[in-house]
Amino acid sequence: MMKAAIFPSRYVQGKDSINIIGDELSRLGSEVLCLLSPSGLDYFQTPIKTSAEGKVNLHIEPFNRECCDPEIERLVRCGKEKNVNLVMGVGGGKILDTAKAVAYQLNTPVVIVPTIASNDAPCASVSVIYTPEGEYDRYLFLPKNPDLVLVDTQIIAESPVRFLVSGMGDALATWFEAEDCKISHGKNTTGYLGTKTAYHLARFCYDMILENGLKAKVACQNKMVNSALENVVEANVLLSGLGFESGGLSAAHSIHNGLTMLEETHHFWHGEKVTIGLLAMLFLTERSQSIIDEVYTFCESVGLPTTLEQIGVTNLDRDYLIPVAKRACSTEETIHNLPFDLTPEIVLDSLLIANQEGKNSH
């Protein structure tokens, strides 16, 4: 029975850690292609340049806002022209995924500096590629995880609180999905079974979120860093990332993928839709009422959605929603890591029951 787990090579987190980025970069290279969004240029260019001075040569390149093949190809050409031996992405998910893809094509290490903690993608060995128009194209699975993930918690504290809360929703599903994979012997993203280490980290992620979530939200609302915020950022970014890649995914993310078929959900964040997927999954997998109550109570306390209406879905007609369930049950979806057979009708039943539970709990 083959098992595997994958991790980023180095993880650094703390208040004002952006100020030590030069030391961290110098461990990995000397000529650095640094991708920054137009807004990121205003906020982060100066501290990065100050920290890098005398340690590495920075080649700052504005990011054109979409992780797509033309932008990746443009940045690869730029990297070759400047003879870079290290790529760094600073910003949100698309710029980080672009940095990973560019580093892969240039065969260099990659440094990831997330400026929001809204999901668990920074540590992962995958990039989501879109079309230039912003439509999903494909996953690019990479041969290794990032060489360094550096998270400045003061930057996270100063970002909109909704990002942090959304990340809690993504992280909240980690343990339940890994547990399903453990029971069913479902494969993780390596194609092998998860390790005990991964399953325990997934559970630790859940416990950390429940214990610290509300206090972390209050800290973020006040743009302050406290131990609760540090713990939640670690759970959102590191523990959830390790848990999903090395523990495995199941129904929550598949139902999320189905929900993205509805145009009205497009303005809501990944973690918010994963939360709805998780709530449906709790009923689909017949979790205990005590667990269901625990999860709903937490979601309501921090402001995560517990009804379909809260992610924009007001039409609850079965004919309207059945495509969501069919998409969630597609052959390639991780919902099939559940330890039993299912149908789109069963998935839809669970989604509607979860929605009603959310209404009843208000």
As given in the structure block, the two tokens for residue 25 are 């970069």
> Considering Cα of 268, then 274, then 279, then 283, what sign does the dihedral take?
positive
Distance CA 25, CA 85 (A): 11
- Answer yes or no: 170 catalytic: yes
Give the DSSP H/E element, type plus range, for residue 31. Answer: strand 31-36
- Answer yes or no: 256 catalytic: yes
**Residue 309 CA: distances (Å) to CA of 267, 282, 306:** 13, 19, 9
Distance CA 140, CA 126 (A): 6
Catalytically annotated residue among 120, 147, 180, 256:
256
Distance CA 258, CA 250 (A): 13
Exposed e or buried b for every residue in 21-32, given b needs 16+ CB within 10 A? bbebbeebbeeb
Catalytically annotated residue among 253, 317, 336, 349:
253
Catalytically annotated residue among 97, 152, 170, 180:
170
- Answer yes or no: 253 catalytic: yes
Distance CA 345, CA 75 (A): 45
- Answer yes or no: 200 catalytic: no
Distance CA 332, CA 329 (A): 8
Helices 318-328 and 344-360: crossing angle in degrees, nearest 10, is 120
What residues are labeled active site? 170, 253, 256, 270
